[in-house]
């Protein structure tokens, strides 16, 4: 039996939490009922990739109790110890007033899993689907501030955690161009292979030209998109998913978020082009203001490059997922053609 199945056993989980989590909450005297909900459940004979939500009852004095969600992200071949150390670092440093982070709880080597207390709220993508323009505006503005604060963190008195080296360059970020090339060529032939490969390598070359000059690097999220931004309250925003953190060019987070925000707003033709352009410009303006950066040609070029790379990763996702949707990949290729043809900026 795959060892990860132990995390679906309530008695096992309760004993694990009594040992690892209960000491972190001195006001609690015991662990009560636990409900288990898998967000991601990919389990094979020996390998696995799971994201689990444990809804845990903490028993307090005087027959009182409190419930909270604890998340576990575990992967058999990609240990989450780095993600846990990043979360611990951010938890100590914080990101300033109005920004909330999940509380790190423990890392479990047996499952290669990171356990942390969840944030209570809905993500930005949820509000995009709900067509809640007021909340979209608010979260987009605050996201620019959040990422600027994140990028300022390195170089202070706290020692930075170690990172997965593969996360620092787009040539090696999972799934990596070699894996994409192999899958696309096998399943779609030479034409699609050339389409994605040529543009991907152009993005890699441009990044290497900049990073090889030994610029000042900063702490980046690495997967900046709308589902990782959480509305905790009217005044507070949260950030989740710490798997792809690394030291790299800040423009990567900016370009990635601009592409993902625009793409999410374009899905199902929910929003007009003027609103999409306004939101992308709002994010960029708030980022630059909080970071105290003047936009110049070099920064804009790097933002555009990461914007295109993120679009290519999205293309690869539609081509390689379990139930592929190649027509969506073609739509993205067409958008990239228009960007190159009209020399558009990422925020246009």
* Pair 53, 95 in one domain: yes
Whole-number pLDDT of residue 29:
95
Cα–Cα distance for residue pair 44/46, rounded to 1 Å: 6
* Pair 274, 305 in one domain: yes
Question: What is the pTM assigned to this prediction?
Answer: 0.92
* Pair 102, 233 in one domain: no
Mean pLDDT in residue range 89-117:
94
| Within-domain flag for 229 | yes
Query: Rounded to the nearest 5°, which phi and psi values hold at 152?
Result: -90, -5
Q: How far is CA 338 from CA 95, 213, 290, in A?
A: 37, 31, 31
* Pair 264, 159 in one domain: yes
Cα–Cα distance for residue pair 281/118, rounded to 1 Å: 30
Whole-number pLDDT of residue 141:
98
* Pair 51, 96 in one domain: yes
* Pair 134, 67 in one domain: no
Dig out the tokens for 275 from the structure.
């609103």
pLDDT of residue 333 exceeding 90: no
Whole-number pLDDT of residue 155:
52
Q: What sign for the dihedral angle of Cα 278, 282, 283, 288?
A: positive
Whole-number pLDDT of residue 156:
53
Whole-number pLDDT of residue 115:
97
Cα–Cα distance for residue pair 244/163, rounded to 1 Å: 9
Cα–Cα distance for residue pair 279/347, rounded to 1 Å: 9
**Within the chain, where are the H helices?**
10-20, 81-93, 124-129, 133-151, 177-188, 190-211, 250-266, 273-291, 297-320, 326-342
* Pair 196, 300 in one domain: yes
- Reported as half-sphere exposure (CB side, CA atoms, 13 A), residue 141 has a value of 10
Decide which of 62, 87, 117 is a domain's last residue.
Answer: 117
* Pair 103, 217 in one domain: no
Closest by alpha carbon to 119, among 227, 36, 277, 30? Answer: 227
* pLDDT tens-digit map of 65-74: 999 999 999 9
CB-based burial, 73-85: b 16+ in 10 Å, e otherwise: bbbbeebbbbbbb
* pLDDT tens-digit map of 157-210: 567 777 778 889 999 998 888 899 999 999 999 988 898 999 999 999 999 999
| Within-domain flag for 2 | no
| Within-domain flag for 262 | yes
| Within-domain flag for 105 | yes
Confidence of residue 230 (pLDDT cuts 50, 70, 90): very high
Tell me the residue range of the domain where 182 lies: 122-342
| Within-domain flag for 236 | yes
* Pair 107, 155 in one domain: no
* Pair 127, 242 in one domain: yes
Write down the mean pLDDT value for the chain: 92
Number of independent structural domains in the chain: 2
Cα–Cα distance for residue pair 199/177, rounded to 1 Å: 11
Q: What is the CATH number of the domain that holds 317?
A: 3.90.1200.10
Decide which of 97, 117, 137 is a domain's last residue.
Answer: 117
* Pair 82, 161 in one domain: no
Q: What is the CATH number of the domain that holds 98?
A: 3.30.200
| Within-domain flag for 249 | yes
* Pair 147, 34 in one domain: no
Mean pLDDT in residue range 108-116:
96
Decide which of 117, 149, 176 is a domain's last residue.
Answer: 117
| Within-domain flag for 291 | yes
Cα–Cα distance for residue pair 28/334, rounded to 1 Å: 56
| Within-domain flag for 348 | no
């Amino acid at each position: 039996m795959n060892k990860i199945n132990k995390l679906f056993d309530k008695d096992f989980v309760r004993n694990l939490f009594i040992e690892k989590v209960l000491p972190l909450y001195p006001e609690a005297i015991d662990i009560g009922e636990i409900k288990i909900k898998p967000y991601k459940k990919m389990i094979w004979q020996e390998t696995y990739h799971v994201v689990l939500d444990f809804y845990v009852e903490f028993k307090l004095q005087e027959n009182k109790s409190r419930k909270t969600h604890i998340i576990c992200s575990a992967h058999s071949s990609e240990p989450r110890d780095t993600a846990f150390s990043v979360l611990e670092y951010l938890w100590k440093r914080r990101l300033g007033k109005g920004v909330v982070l999940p509380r790190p709880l423990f890392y479990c080597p047996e499952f290669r899993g990171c356990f942390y207390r969840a944030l209570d709220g809905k993500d930005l993508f949820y509000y995009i689907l709900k067509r809640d323009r007021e909340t979209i505006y608010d979260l987009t503005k605050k996201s620019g501030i959040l990422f600027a604060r994140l990028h300022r963190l390195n170089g202070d008195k706290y020692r930075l955690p170690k990172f997965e080296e593969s996360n620092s360059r787009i040539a090696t970020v999972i799934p990596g161009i070699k894996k994409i090339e192999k899958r696309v060529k096998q399943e779609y032939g030479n034409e699609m292979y050339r389409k994605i490969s040529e543009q991907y390598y152009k993005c890699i070359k441009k990044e290497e030209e900049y990073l090889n000059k030994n610029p000042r690097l900063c702490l980046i999220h690495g997967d900046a998109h709308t589902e990782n931004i959480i509305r905790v309250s009217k005044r507070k925003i949260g950030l989740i998913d710490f798997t792809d953190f690394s030291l790299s060019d800040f423009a990567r987070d900016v370009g990635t978020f601009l592409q993902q925000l625009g793409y999410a707003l374009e899905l199902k033709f929910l929003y007009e082009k003027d609103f999409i352009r306004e939101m992308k410009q709002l994010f960029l303006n708030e980022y630059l203001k909080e970071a105290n950066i003047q936009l110049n040609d070099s920064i804009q070029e790097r933002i555009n490059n990461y914007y295109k790379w993120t679009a290519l990763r999205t293309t690869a996702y539609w081509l390689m997922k379990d139930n592929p949707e190649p027509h969506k990949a073609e739509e993205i290729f067409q958008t990239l053609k228009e960007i190159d043809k009209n020399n558009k900026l990422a925020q246009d």
